[in-house]
Amino acid sequence: MLRREGLSKLTGRERYVDDLPLQNFLWGATVRSPAARGRISEIVFGDGVNWSEFVIVDHTDIPGRNAVYLMEYDQPALAPGYVRHVHEPVLLLAHPSREVARRAVREVEVIVDVDPPALDFRTLPSADLIQYGEDNVLKRLSIQKGDVERALAESPIVVDGVYETGAQEHVYLETQGMLAYLDDDVLVIKGSMQCPYYVLKALKTALNRSDEEIRVIQTPTGGGFGGKEEFPSMVALHAGLLALKSRVPVKLIYDRTEDMVATTKRHPSRVWHRTGVDENGRLIAQEIEVVMDGGAYVTLTPVVLSRAIIHAAGPYHCDNVRILGRAMFTNSVPYGAFRGFGNPQAHFAVERHMDVIADRLRMDPVELRRINMIRDGQTTATGQVIADGVDRLGIVDRALALADYERRRREHWIRNSEHRYLRRGIGLATFYHGAGFTGSGEVMLDSRLQVEGLPDGRVQVLCASTEMGQGQITIFTQLAADRLGYDPVDVSIAEPDTHRVPDSGPTVGSRTAMVVGRLVERACDDLRRKVGLEESVPGALVKDAIIAWHSAHPGQRLLGKARYEPPPGIAWDEEHYRGDAYGAFGWAAHVAEVEVDLRTYDVRVLDFVSVQDVGTVLNETLARGQVQGGVAQGISWALLEECVWNDGAMENGQLTNYIIPTSGDLPPIRVEFMEFPYKYGAQGAKGIGELPLVGAAPAVLNAVAAATGRQPTEIPLTPERLMALFGNGHAPGEAP
């Protein structure tokens, strides 16, 4: 089936929040902190502006608790006198002219009595920098398996490494934006978001309103990648506060620079590995420490750290594992959800480290992975028994075959010895990603979904899952149509509207097709039962039965319902981080081929092969697009995307100097699926959205290592960083 809203997007008819027709409204704008930390001593309104034309909101206008509530209450909606990061929101302005509003922002001077900011998450803070708990640690987590100390002591070979990753900005092409207005007493919020019920939760807390008094509606969303998971709650709150005060509609749309400098990003990380291996390359012990920069507020950091440590040992079996995780408070912009959610950082480290180990052992990195790849019946670091029947070695072999790995490697040896300054290399990464919420997370979400039988026999899916480009509308249409035996045109997907659809959980964590999609199927089954039909009754009869039901029940609604039920046999011990972390894992292998120019230290990716097990592939075109887009984001995280910081402020908040790849910067990304269906996912599907990003960066850097004989350990691997490896290079694990 083709993307359902595809033609509407291709012809420019799709209406995003900034495209909605609107009369007599105000443009909102945000005044932000100029300093990373300190007390606001004064706010000076400049002389050149007629301030009486403006609606101005500060923290005293917040009727409820001054918090952007999701996990914790620590992040204020508007700074109440003290700021903890540059660009933290302080005041809101609204004016009929967008240009006047934006100019006015620059005429407000927020004067801050500066306190010393904590800006380096890698070092433990001195006393004057402590702002969270006793030590600025936002969250500590650990995993223990076997006896790491003894196993390391007994290992004939021990290999250390330290791996670092930088912040990454989402750069969804549609910036953050919300529209707020009052419909009688109901505050209506429309805008770009992944999670309508997260927005509702934050609004209820800060505005002191009930579910009935707030209505959140998702508009078509131009990309999210996690950047529209928690941050839209902030934008919605701001638009809502302005609309409540002004009593007219308010539109708040970020321009690109505001979006880049002020919103969440991928957590920077530093991961340390100490690995014991025998002479044949078998893993004996893995000791790992994962440290992340959490930024100035908690947001989703504890959960990001959790996913990082659960995956930190890689897709390998090892009897002795200790993983310590720590997320640090710093006075930088809060880091938040980004596709992969901690796992890309974890896998960058472990997959780069596997090649460093292979290099130390003078062993083929492919062979090292083959020996240690987890097999059915073996356990992960949390003790989860893997028994999903996935041919993990087959996935690796297929990726190597598609990339023509062996032949390329031989060609590179010859070519590299002959060419003056070009070096080619090929690299492999093998990896995995747990789909859905971690541990008992899905049970806590308690997701619900409805399929309504309409009077004319058509059906409508009612859920809070959102379309942001990944294909949810198309996939849910397919699933309902297949389940009921319907023509897809007789299936519609309701607009996500908290006054109309049940809470089917957030659209995050690679859970939508697998977990919520399964609810679509079960709600279809319930609908069929309610009209008295067995399974496997043809669609035409279902349609007739729905029409007949409505004749017999005039004016009533016919709702098939489903509520999340965990698959049997899943057990997770949250306190000790033991057990079944995820219902299902997707498994994959990437092979990258690169060329390094030793004159410029430029790295060019020549070829990229991705073989993925995402369970049943529900829609080949959409699935391939997810993999190619995820790989592209991973390649550019590895090579191009660098946030430049100056006293806690992002300096390069423009697409001119924060570089994302053009079509000319990327090779064709060759994708193949190997399908190992998951019994409890919709039609056998597992998660797909995040997996492809996870292994892209280490595959590219492993190829660079093969090409150059150097071992890069930091991304983004800019030409400057690569040059340093040739000049003042340092080995992994040594201080630079």
Partner 1 sequence: MSGGRHDPIRISFTLNGETTTVEVAPTERLLDLLRYRLGLTGTKEGCAEGECGACTIYLDGLPVDSCLIPAYQVRGRVVETIESLDPEGMAHYHARGTTQCGACTPGVVMTAEWILRHPDRLETHTVRELMAGNLCRCTGYDGIIEGIEGALEDREAE
Length of the chain counted residue by residue: 736
**Token pair listed for 651:** 């300096």
Query: Residues near 229 by Cβ (< 8 Å), separated by ≥ 6?
Result: 194, 195, 198, 300, 336, 337, 506, 508
Q: Which of 453/653 has CB closer to partner 1?
A: 653
The residues of the shown chain that bind partner 1, judged by CB under 8 A, are 2-3, 5-16, 18-19, 21, 99, 170-174, 220-225, 255-256, 468-471, 621-622, 624-625, 628-633, 654-656, 660, 662-666, 668-669
The answer to whether 449 and 516 are in contact (CB under 8 A) is: yes
Residue 567's identity, in one-letter code, is P
The answer to whether 395 and 589 are in contact (CB under 8 A) is: yes
How near is the Cβ of 477 to partner 1 at its closest, in Å? 15
How near is the Cβ of 714 to partner 1 at its closest, in Å? 24
Q: Which of 261/284 has CB closer to partner 1?
A: 261
Q: Which of 481/671 has CB closer to partner 1?
A: 671
How near is the Cβ of 75 to partner 1 at its closest, in Å? 26
How near is the Cβ of 10 to partner 1 at its closest, in Å? 4
Q: Which of 548/644 has CB closer to partner 1?
A: 644
Q: Which of 442/593 has CB closer to partner 1?
A: 593
Query: Residues near 10 by Cβ (< 8 Å), separated by ≥ 6?
Result: none
How near is the Cβ of 430 to partner 1 at its closest, in Å? 21
Q: Which of 257/378 has CB closer to partner 1?
A: 257
Rounded distance between C-alpha atoms, residue 95 and residue 73, angstroms: 30
How near is the Cβ of 371 to partner 1 at its closest, in Å? 32
Burial class (CB in 10 A: 0-12, 13-18, 19+), 552: exposed
Q: What region, left, alpha or beta, does residue 647 occupy, with left being phi > 0 and alpha being psi -120 to 50 degrees?
A: left
Question: DSSP code of 558?
Answer: E
Q: Which of 360/604 has CB closer to partner 1?
A: 604
Q: Which of 301/474 has CB closer to partner 1?
A: 474
Query: Residues near 305 by Cβ (< 8 Å), separated by ≥ 6?
Result: 139, 141, 290, 292, 325, 326, 327, 342
Q: Hunting for tokens 């592209």 — which residue is that?
A: 632
Q: Which of 67/669 has CB closer to partner 1?
A: 669
How near is the Cβ of 254 to partner 1 at its closest, in Å? 11
Chain-centre distance for alpha carbon 299: 13
Rounded distance between C-alpha atoms, residue 341 and residue 240, angstroms: 29
- Give the β-pairing of 422-435 and 321-329: unpaired
- Give the β-pairing of 157-165 and 714-715: parallel
Side-chain-side CA neighbours of residue 47 (13 Å): 0
Rounded distance between C-alpha atoms, residue 283 and residue 368, angstroms: 9
Q: Which of 220/509 has CB closer to partner 1?
A: 220
Rounded distance between C-alpha atoms, residue 707 and residue 596, angstroms: 7
